[in-house]
Amino acid sequence: MSAELEGRAFLVGDDVDTDMLAPGAYMKGPVEELARHCLEALDPDFARRVQPGDILLAGRNFGTGSSREQAAQALSTLGIRAVVARSFAGIFYRNALNLGLLAVVCPDWDGIAPLDRVRLDPRAGRLVHLASGRSFTCRPIPPHLLEMVESGGIVPWLEQRLAAGRAEGGR
């Protein structure tokens, strides 16, 4: 994964909850099916309207509610590469990074309109609105977490670590 990413901004409001992101009625089934119903309580066409590479721009307390990580997984499955929110619910934030989905706290992104193009630098903590050139300050993701995200999430990261540990132990 390159350090910076660029895409369309898809806008949602405050308190987007995990029941909207991963509706309970579809939790039994495969995540691909669940993802088709992602945010349908908010916008019935959401899953059809987002495109791979989109960056979700959200209000405060994004991902509030359940610990179900399918909330983050549904967004990744639809091709969303990062969520930039004014604030996150704690468990969602951890889940997103653990699944390799960038979650970046950006208290202010006023003036960005739906589908405007933006560029995100999670390492430096910067969101740029390409049309106006305006730059917004985000909370940088700490290097050790970014390393985990860039390796695809906690599972691939741990896989590498465990493998390295075994190789070490075998010597």
The binding site for other proteins (CB under 8 A) comprises: 15, 17-20, 23-25, 27-29, 40-42, 60-61, 64-69, 72, 87, 89-91, 93-95, 98-99, 142, 144, 153-155, 158-159, 162
Reduce the DSSP state of residue 47 to 3 states and report it.
Answer: helix
For residues 157 and 166, the answer to whether their CB atoms sit within 8 Å is no
- The distance of closest approach from Cβ of residue 109 to other proteins in the complex, given in angstroms and rounded to an integer, is 18
Contacts of 25 (CB under 8 A, 6+ apart): 37
- The distance of closest approach from Cβ of residue 41 to other proteins in the complex, given in angstroms and rounded to an integer, is 4
Please say which residue, 79 or 90, places its beta carbon nearer to other proteins. Answer: 90
- The distance of closest approach from Cβ of residue 119 to other proteins in the complex, given in angstroms and rounded to an integer, is 27
- The distance of closest approach from Cβ of residue 92 to other proteins in the complex, given in angstroms and rounded to an integer, is 8
What letter does residue 141 receive in the DSSP assignment? P
Please say which residue, 51 or 67, places its beta carbon nearer to other proteins. Answer: 67
For residues 101 and 78, the answer to whether their CB atoms sit within 8 Å is no
For residues 84 and 104, the answer to whether their CB atoms sit within 8 Å is yes
Please say which residue, 57 or 61, places its beta carbon nearer to other proteins. Answer: 61
The first and second tokens of residue 41, run together, are 């309580």
- The distance of closest approach from Cβ of residue 142 to other proteins in the complex, given in angstroms and rounded to an integer, is 7
Please say which residue, 81 or 129, places its beta carbon nearer to other proteins. Answer: 81
Neighbours of 45 (CB within 10 A): 9
Place of tokens 């960005």: 112
Which has the closest alpha carbon to 134: 150, 117, 146, 156?
Answer: 117
**Cα gap 79→171, rounded to integer Å:** 41
Please say which residue, 131 or 155, places its beta carbon nearer to other proteins. Answer: 155
